[in-house]
Amino acid sequence: MPAADADPGMSGGSEPAAPTARGERALSVLWSFGKYLGALLPVYLAGYYGFSISVVLLGLMVYMGWKHSRQQKATRLRSAMYLLENEREFTTKKVFRVKTDLPPWVSFPDVEKVEWLNKILQQAWPFIGQYLEKLLVETVAPAISASSIHLQTLSFTKVNIGDKALKLVGIKAHTEHDKRQVMLDLYLSYAGDVEVNVEIKKYFCKAGVKGIQLHGKLRVILEPLIGDLPLIGAVTMFFIRRPKLDINWTGLTNLLDIPGLNAMSDTMIMDAIASHLVLPNRLTVPLVADLHVAQLRSPLPRGVVRIHLLEAEDLTAKDTVIKGLINGKSDPYAVLRVGTQIFTSHHVDSNLNPQWREIYEVIVHEVPGQELEVEVFDKDPDQDDFLGRAKVDLDIVKKARIVDDWFNLSDVPSGSVHLKLEWLSLLSSADRLSEVIQKNQNLTSKTADPPAAAILAIYLDQAYDLPMRKGNKDPSPMVQISIQDTTKESKTCYGTNNPVWEDAFTFFIQDPRKQDIDIQVKDDDRSSPLGSLTIPLPRLLGAPELTMDQWFQLENSGSGSRIYIKIVLRILWLSDDASPTTPSPRPPVPGSGSGQGGVTSEVNPSGPGGPVKPQPTRPQHTTPDPEFATEGVLRIHLVEAQNLIAKDNFMGGMVKGKSDPYVKIRVAGITFRSHTIKENLNPVWNELYEVILTQLPGQEIQFELFDKDIDQDDFLGRFKLNLRDIISAQFIDTWYTLNDVKSGRVHLVLEWLPRVSEIQRLEQILQYHSQQSYQNKVVPSTGVLFVYVERAHGLPLKKNGKEPKIGAEIILKNVTYKTKICERSTSPRWDEAFRYLIRDPRDETLTVKLSHSWGQVLGSLTLPLREVLAEPGLVLDRWLSLDGALPESQILLRATLKILDTQLAVCRGDASNDGSIDEVIPRWDPSHLDLKHRSGFSINDNPNSTGQVKLTTGYSTEENRLFITVHSCRALAACSKDGADPYVSFILLPDKKATTKRKTATKKRDLNPEFNERFDFDFTLEEATQRRLDLSVKNSVSFMSRERELIGKLQLDLDQIDLKTSVTQWYDLIAETN
């Protein structure tokens, strides 16, 4: 029975398996039959419809090409994935390969391998995928569906970014160029198994991507660096060169892998990426408010390189005869590339040593980073033959100013090209324009365009109130900007008469004295004009710093149609002290150009196989960054405080005591602290502080008051000031109300010190300072010294005969700065800047000490500042001999002294013949505590005065508008124990219908409010002069409040003001009388 029972069970288990296997085999046979039938179907259809057999062969060729392209892409993707997963093994095994096969962190010592960051990316990759899936499904898909009726059924059916995370092969940090930014080069490599499928149900259409490769160098700039969180003002990123992109398509997009179409599709995708992320395009993400994003997104170029393509020698013969048995010649021409700028020379017939003698000019946006690539080809009727390439790092051109040299051509047996490269600096003054134009006339070139004397950068921001199209429809405006024969177009803003373009354009200008800018605003059909504007460039030559940044009224447009444009002109100047290097002879060994063939370092500019760099002539002057010596000095005079809160109470607060107040001042990462005044609610500090500041957007100065206690200090209030407002006012002497407390105010005298180079002001300022005294024993600075240490030459070797690692210490009194330590060299280069506050330049001395790793001293320099005072413009810039070193040991530095002027050191009388001063403003006397007697803050003795208001009143003839800017109020009368909540309202009389009535925002609990609000009125100049300003400063109160509403009034006849010059002035507020 058990055996009998077992047999049916066994047979029953095997019976279903046999039909399943037979079914699978049958399905496989049917599928194979279907594929063969599908392959023969085109042949049958071609015969049925009478097509030529060539159509079938063409289709077969397209299919085979598509299949081959797909297999190549899949192979490349698998190889890239393997390489990224086994990078360390590949690197160690292939260490003797050429540099191009190794990752950047092996090829370049200053590129750091950041494996820890890759581990973070790998760990977070699934969550990044979840975010991208949500973004595509919930945001991108609805936006695409709404954009067209044909795409309403579009949806993402699958979004999977795979398991392979983006990898950072290396990171290089550049911190030596600009102290206010951090520049990073990220070497990105992504070979991912990403899979994204899209379906349009309406048309039964499916498409997608399965696998992407992306390799490139992404530059990330963190600027400006600021003294408040998040410490970085914005993040800017871009690719210096186009990255390499490879995409595996699926579905209907498989057609893009057909030969011919694949190159076209990849080019279109790369063009789309380049339009946003490849120089000169940048992606900028602001992190703080009040940031000039346009200047970060479209900054001025670093400079211009003028390329003299002179000649070539010993090129390879490509036009051979009898299948190579007899060597012929070549018809060479050159292609020059810098980023997206491409130039092609003329070709020279049958010549292996051609001479071109052509000049090109390229705009350089980023150094280090951008390269000049020169490729030489042989001109042929069908496909041109490659004759070699050379690369030159433009950072070397910037440092040398002129490079005149032969460069070996790589990837070919022989050949070299002779280039002369000149770095043209950008001047913001037109003083040397005539000299530049005269020099350019002496240059000869076979190119059609003469050398440029200037570049013009135009930032097209926005337009306002453009005319409507026919049928009262919104236009789709675009802009055409033309200068002489060059025209550039902006993007199109669809369906709006207030477009925002935010586009930047750059033009080369031959003679700005004779050329005009022609601007045409048109609808997207290019035929319907919306307005025009012509700006003569001579008008720009008279503008401050050759810059115009304003609204322009459009011609042939609506009455209110305006366009906002920033125009910057810069003169191209070749430094006088720049001297070309002596061209080295043609390399004696043909075929040595098998290496990298470009300038890649200062030791051997061309790398392996490149030309030996000639010894350049030493520059006679320094070449600091344009931002050198642009910092200013803020002087803070902490005078006193009043009505502070009593924190030291007795008997549980029943008996009021005093406080022991002190002040903390924070600015640009520096903290100052005043001394403590015992038991005083109205302390007088009379302390002075000075700090050197770089003008950065959003920078603030924070003041905090505390009561000194044995345990924890009590808070007495705080307030913040914007540095931009202080710089704008130059001098402020006023009271500031403390925030976050019931009462208290602080008296400050703030001065942004003007910097002058007139030596005659020094004696007056020193005499004034000698009469001042402060509780913290500070002696006011009379100047600021900027020191730029560029390089040294001919330094001695170490005691053991090896080259030293040299650093420089720069010392002035008790302040010491150190440079970086350069690698082993007797001619180090630092390119670093420092600054010092100077008390009396007649008695102070600058000391520079050079040493090996801060140990063995290799030389020193002692520079009395009296020598700088004797230099023209108070600038010393030359080579100086070192003491305690070799006779030829020298250091190249620049010392720039700026005298710090002050409005307080003003003469009250003329200087006598012997140069003495009759009378100088006396020192500050703390007995004069009445606010109305403070210098720089004059209030009328009128008992009805309740404070002051600062206004700017003017008329813009270009916009045909009257504008009134309400800046701020000060020393307003309090309306309650908490002060007041002030706002400003005004009307332009006579105005019966109150159409000109305006009102600012309300500032809470502030008797010194800042508004900075501008109001525009469409009046003619004649109408504006007939108006009367009726202004009131009011306290914002509730309906049931008993507090006083009106703080003060002002009435001002506009015909008493020169509106064309836009007057900024403080006005007294008068209390309302019965």
Instruction: Report the pLDDT averaged over residues 622-643.
Output: 89
Q: Is the pLDDT reported for residue 331 higher than 80?
A: yes
Q: Give the pLDDT of residue 150.
A: 72
Q: Give the pLDDT of residue 901.
A: 86
Q: Is the pLDDT reported for residue 988 higher than 50?
A: yes
SS3 string, 302-370, reads: CEEEEEEEEEEECCCCCEEECCCCEEEECCEEEEEEECCEEEECCCCCCCCCCEEEEEEEEEECCCCCC
Q: Give the other-Cβ count within 10 Å of 630's Cβ.
A: 11
Q: Give the other-Cβ count within 10 Å of 308's Cβ.
A: 17
Q: Is the pLDDT reported for residue 836 higher than 90?
A: yes
Q: Give the pLDDT of residue 707.
A: 92
Q: Beta strand pairing status for 234-239 and 205-222?
A: antiparallel
- Report the SS3 class of residue 562: strand
Q: Is the pLDDT reported for residue 721 higher than 80?
A: yes
Residue 83 is classified by DSSP as: H
Q: Give the pLDDT of residue 93.
A: 52
Q: Is the pLDDT reported for residue 1026 higher than 80?
A: yes
Which of 982, 960, 962, 961 lies closest to 971, judged by CA? 982
User: Given pLDDT bands bounded at 50, 70 and 90, which one contains residue 703?
Assistant: very high
User: For residue 521, what are the contacts with CB-CB under 8 A and spacing of at least 6?
Assistant: 463, 466, 477, 478, 479, 529, 530, 531, 532, 533, 554, 557, 563
Q: How far apart are CA 499 and CA 480, in angstroms?
A: 14
User: Given pLDDT bands bounded at 50, 70 and 90, which one contains residue 144?
Assistant: confident
Q: How far apart are CA 397 and CA 372, in angstroms?
A: 10
Handedness of CA 82, 83, 88, 91 (dihedral sign): positive
User: Given pLDDT bands bounded at 50, 70 and 90, which one contains residue 861?
Assistant: very high
Handedness of CA 143, 144, 147, 149 (dihedral sign): negative
624-628, 740-744, 912-916: the lowest-pLDDT one = 912-916
- Report the SS3 class of residue 158: strand
Q: Give the pLDDT of residue 267.
A: 65
- Report the SS3 class of residue 1021: helix
CB 318, CB 256: distance < 8 Å: no
Q: Write out the two tokens for 189.
A: 């490599």
CB 283, CB 293: distance < 8 Å: no
**pTM for the complete prediction?**
0.51
φ and ψ at residue 10, rounded to 5 degrees: -65, -45
Question: Secondary structure of the chain: what % helix, strand, coil (to 5)?
Answer: 20, 40, 40
Tokens 């009011």 belong to 1034
Q: Is the pLDDT reported for residue 953 higher than 50?
A: yes
Q: Give the pLDDT of residue 604.
A: 40
DSSP lists the bridge partners of residue 469 as: 473
Q: What is the pLDDT of residues 25-84, one digit of tens each?
A: 777 777 777 766 766 677 677 777 766 666 667 777 777 776 667 667 677 666 766 666
Residue 140 is classified by DSSP as: I
Rg (CA), the chain: 37
Q: Give the pLDDT of residue 938.
A: 40
φ and ψ at residue 400, rounded to 5 degrees: -85, -15
Q: Write out the two tokens for 51.
A: 């097509």
Instruction: Report the pLDDT averaged over residues 468-493.
Output: 88
DSSP lists the bridge partners of residue 861 as: 848
% of the chain at pLDDT higher than 70: 78
Q: Give the pLDDT of residue 673.
A: 92
Residue 595 is classified by DSSP as: S
Instruction: Report the pLDDT averaged over residues 879-884.
Output: 91
318-322, 634-638, 714-718: the lowest-pLDDT one = 318-322
Q: Is the pLDDT reported for residue 941 higher than 70?
A: no
Residue 696 is classified by DSSP as: -
Q: Give the pLDDT of residue 305.
A: 94
Q: What is the pLDDT of residues 233-280, one digit of tens each?
A: 889 888 888 788 777 777 665 555 555 555 566 666 666 666 677 877
Q: Which residues of 508-533 are buried (b: 16+ CB within 10 A; e: fewer)?
A: bbbbbeebebebbbbbeeeeeebbbb
Helix (H) or strand (E) holding 671: strand 670-673
User: For residue 587, what are the contacts with CB-CB under 8 A and spacing of at least 6?
Assistant: 406, 408, 416, 593, 611, 612
How are strands ordered across the β-sheet holding 714-722? 670-673, 661-667, 700-707, 714-722
200-214, 783-797, 938-952: the lowest-pLDDT one = 938-952
CB 624, CB 877: distance < 8 Å: no
Q: Write out the two tokens for 472.
A: 């009262």
Q: Write out the two tokens for 354.
A: 């051609």
Which comes out higher in pLDDT, residue 710 or 939? 710
User: Given pLDDT bands bounded at 50, 70 and 90, which one contains residue 316?
Assistant: confident
Q: What is the pLDDT of residues 644-660, one digit of tens each?
A: 988 876 555 555 678 89
Q: Give the other-Cβ count within 10 Å of 915's Cβ.
A: 9
Q: How far is CA 943 from CA 4, 58, 932, 1072, 1073, in A?
A: 125, 100, 11, 12, 11
Q: Give the pLDDT of residue 36.
A: 65
Which comes out higher in pLDDT, residue 515 or 56? 515
Q: Give the pLDDT of residue 20.
A: 61
Q: How far apart are CA 295 and CA 843, in angstroms?
A: 42
522-531, 614-623, 804-813: the lowest-pLDDT one = 614-623
Q: Is the pLDDT reported for residue 771 higher than 50?
A: yes
Mean pLDDT of the chain: 79
Instruction: Provide the phi-psi class of 26: left if phi over 0, else alpha when psi is between -120 and 50, else beta.
Output: alpha
Q: What is the pLDDT of residues 561-606, one digit of tens each?
A: 999 999 999 999 887 655 554 444 444 433 333 333 333 333 343 3
Instruction: Report the pLDDT averaged over residues 207-217.
Output: 82
